[in-house]
Amino acid sequence: MLDNYFPILVFVLVGLAFGCVPILLGWLIAPNRPDSEKLSAFECGFAPFEDARMKFDVRYYLIAILFILFDLEIAFLFPWAAIFKEIVNTEAVKMFGFVEMFVFIGILVVGYVYAWAKGALDWE
């Protein structure tokens, strides 16, 4: 089975080389003679006025956390889809796999409706 993933390994290695080799080459063979004039900001550049870290609106985190939670929900859907045909008709219960997943999604829809009704998805 792992043989199927060999092209992906090659792809990862090529990607790494694509990112690292130009930087390494530049570091190795480019001449490096810095002076204060070269390193100072010029033309449109200017020295920063303040620190980049600042107080940030908490609503960005709320949206991000909601995204992660529904992302997890999606992660549960993939293996379910892979064996859907097998578990949709088990010997014991008809439509078991189908109902099971819809109970799962239904519970999460409660959270979605709650977030929507509370206005967590409104921006302005």
Which residues of the shown chain bind another protein in the complex (CB under 8 A)?
1-5, 9, 52-56, 58-62, 64-69, 71-73, 75-76, 78-80, 82-83, 86-87, 90, 96-97, 100-101, 103-105, 107-108, 110-112, 114-115, 118-120, 122, 124
**Least Å distance between CB 33 and another protein?**
28
Return the H-helix or E-strand segment holding 24: helix 6-29
**Least Å distance between CB 35 and another protein?**
27
Q: How deeply is 115 buried, as exposed, middle or buried, from its count of CB atoms within 10 A (0-12, 13-18, 19+)?
A: middle
**Least Å distance between CB 123 and another protein?**
10
Q: What are phi and psi of 72, to 5 degrees?
A: -65, -40
Tell me the three state secondary structure of residue 52.
Answer: coil
